[in-house]
Amino acid sequence: MEKMNRKNFLTSAATLGTGLFILPRHVLGGKGFIAPSDKVNVAGVGVGGMGYNNMMALGEYANVTALCDVDADYAAHCFNKFPSAKTFVDYREMLDKFKGSIDAVVIATPDNTHAVIALDSMKLGKHVYVQKPLTHDIYEARILNQAATKYKVVTQMGNQGHSSTSNIELAEWVQAGIIGSVDKVECWTNRPIWPQGVPYPVNEAPLPKGITKEGWDLWIGPAEFHPFNPAIYHFKWRGWWPFGTGALGDMACHIIDPAFRALKLGYPTSVEAFSSTFYEGDFKAANTPDSCPAASKIVFEFPSREGMPATKLIWSDGGIKFERPAGLKEDDALGWDGGGVVLHGSKGDAMTGCYGHHTTLVPFEKMESFKKPSPVYPRIPGEDHGGHEKNWIEAIRQNKPEMASCPFSYASPLTETILLGNIALRAAKLKGGEKKLLWDGPNMRITNFEPANQYVKRQYRSGWSLDL
């Protein structure tokens, strides 16, 4: 018999009048049913932690075809959840063997390998979902944005709060002039909740049972090689510059995001950073070159844009104190889930929590008579039930990259801005370091302290590259 694909079969059945008929989709599976042939084939890389949550969210909407993790024990719960998926240690082997049968790749590895895995996937025409922060350095973020355009793929960064209705509403309130002109924003988090501001471990430890020597080399990726030590593994990697991006990199893609969208911020013109090993009312210089500081305060300055005034955005983490909105009572909640944002406007303040949830005017009493402006931006269905991942899948199915809630065209400038704060933290420790750095965003250059530019684009170790 002639080999037939699904399209040929449907055409032949309708044309030949053989008595075959096609059942409506709602008969097959009820409302919202997606036929298996319509599902996107997805692979996951780094599925022991947050990647497992992403795959669980996608399981209803996509075929989980392949899974990859350097630590088989750490990722065993994910492997067991999707027993039909082929498992790999090396993502490059997975892409080579499954390049003809997967459509999209979820990347939830530590920050140091986001860019190389994403770019290798996009080069094969695979759509990508990359956990936040998008990349480890600014240059990588810029390259991934260019790659998304070049390879015409659907992209999404994993800051799921971007798809929440309350996050979207904040943009509509601000842009409708509800709180007037905003010239100051306060952002904060309770992170880090992992070690930071500590000396780097000097002793090598045995590898865990689930990871091989080759697997550890892959985990290091393009970073300078470091021997295994449990102090830099699993969740703790976030606090070390070679692999993570600290409290700022971890949480700002969630927390700064609502203000970044609402105020259409774009590239800042300057950044100034202060850090400490611990906080006692004054900042104390942290002398830990390998580790992110235990506490920091970072001030970004943005120029006027689209009728909005120049804006100062202040970030605080590690217990650094920040300004409490004047209209907030002592027992009123400040933010939500360990973080938040306050936008100080000429007509009043607005506040939202971590992930852009629980958006409100301040004082809270204003909400009693507040009439929300008419919706401007589309809402994302299922926002609390994997809606961010589903939104990405829908954009792939309809071949509409513009449908993605947080594509790289948005995620890259946001990530670049956040990572600029880390450059300021690190540059302040260099000899003759400037506290306030002047930033030329379009050209990716610090213009007043050349040594700081070494952090814009890190040096990859031999065997790794990031070429379009």
pLDDT band at 163 (very low <50, low <70, confident <90, very high): very high
Domain locations in the chain as residue ranges: 23-160, 162-379+412-455
More confidently predicted of 431 and 461: 461
pLDDT band at 8 (very low <50, low <70, confident <90, very high): very low
Of 379, 323, 68, nearest to 188 by C-alpha is 323
- The helix/strand/coil state of 290 is coil
Residue 287: what pLDDT?
52
Nearest 5°: the CA angle 340, 342, 345 is 165
pLDDT at 31 over 60: no
The mean pLDDT of 102-118, rounded to a whole number, is 98
More confidently predicted of 378 and 61: 378
State the DSSP string of 420-456: HHHHHHHHTTSTT--SEEEEETTTTEESS-GGGGGGT
Return d(Cα 73, Cα 143) in angstroms, integer: 33
Residue 173 is given by DSSP the state: H
Residue 283: what pLDDT?
42
Tell me which amino acid residue 34 is. I
pLDDT band at 3 (very low <50, low <70, confident <90, very high): very low
% of the chain beyond a pLDDT of 90: 79
**φ, ψ at 365 (rounded to 5°):** -60, -25
Return d(Cα 264, Cα 266) in angstroms, integer: 6
The mean pLDDT of 437-460, rounded to a whole number, is 97
Judge residue 163's burial from the number of C-beta atoms within 10 Å of its C-beta, 0-12 exposed, 13-18 middle, 19 or more buried.
Answer: buried
Residue 113: what pLDDT?
98
pLDDT at 103 over 50: yes
Would you state the structure tokens that stand for residue 39, as one six-digit string? Answer: 């599902």
Judge residue 289's burial from the number of C-beta atoms within 10 Å of its C-beta, 0-12 exposed, 13-18 middle, 19 or more buried.
Answer: exposed
Q: Which residues contact 115 (CB under 8 A, 6 or more apart)?
A: 135, 136, 140, 141, 143, 144, 466
| pLDDT, tens digit (0-9, with 9 covering 90-100), for 188-243 | 999 999 999 888 888 899 999 999 999 999 999 999 999 999 999 999 999 999 99
Residue 285: what pLDDT?
40
Residue 198: what pLDDT?
85
Return d(Cα 406, Cα 388) in angstroms, integer: 9
Q: Which residues contact 24 (CB under 8 A, 6 or more apart)?
A: none
State the chain's mean pLDDT as an integer.
Answer: 89
> Which of 190-199, 300-309, 362-371, 438-447 is the least confident region?
190-199
The mean pLDDT of 91-101, rounded to a whole number, is 96
- Specify the pTM: 0.90
Tell me which amino acid residue 61 is. Y
| pLDDT, tens digit (0-9, with 9 covering 90-100), for 297-316 | 999 999 999 999 999 999 99
Residue 326: what pLDDT?
87
Return d(Cα 332, Cα 336) in angstroms, integer: 11
How would you list the strands of the sheet with 155-157, edge to edge? 86-88, 62-68, 40-45, 104-107, 127-130, 155-157
> Which of 23-27, 86-90, 229-233, 259-263 is the least confident region?
23-27
Q: Find the helix or strand (DSSP H, E) in which 143 lies.
A: helix 138-151
Q: Find the helix or strand (DSSP H, E) in which 106 lies.
A: strand 104-107
Q: Write down the CATH number for the domain with range 162-379+412-455.
A: 3.30.360
> Which of 4-18, 43-57, 240-254, 318-332 is the least confident region?
4-18
Question: Do the beta carbons of residue 165 and residue 320 sit within 8 Å?
Answer: no
| CA 233 vs CA 210, 211, 243, 250, 312: distances in Å | 13, 12, 10, 16, 36
Tell me which residue has tokens 């105020």.
263
Return d(Cα 12, Cα 184) in angstroms, integer: 64
| pLDDT, tens digit (0-9, with 9 covering 90-100), for 248-258 | 999 999 999 99
Return d(Cα 305, Cα 74) in angstroms, integer: 46
pLDDT at 13 over 90: no
pLDDT band at 59 (very low <50, low <70, confident <90, very high): confident
| pLDDT, tens digit (0-9, with 9 covering 90-100), for 381-409 | 887 778 999 999 999 999 999 999 999 99
Candidates 3.40.50.300, 2.60.260.20, 3.40.640.10, 3.40.50.720; CATH matching 23-160: 3.40.50.720
Would you state the structure tokens that stand for residue 393, as one six-digit string? Answer: 């899948």
Strand partners, 353: 340
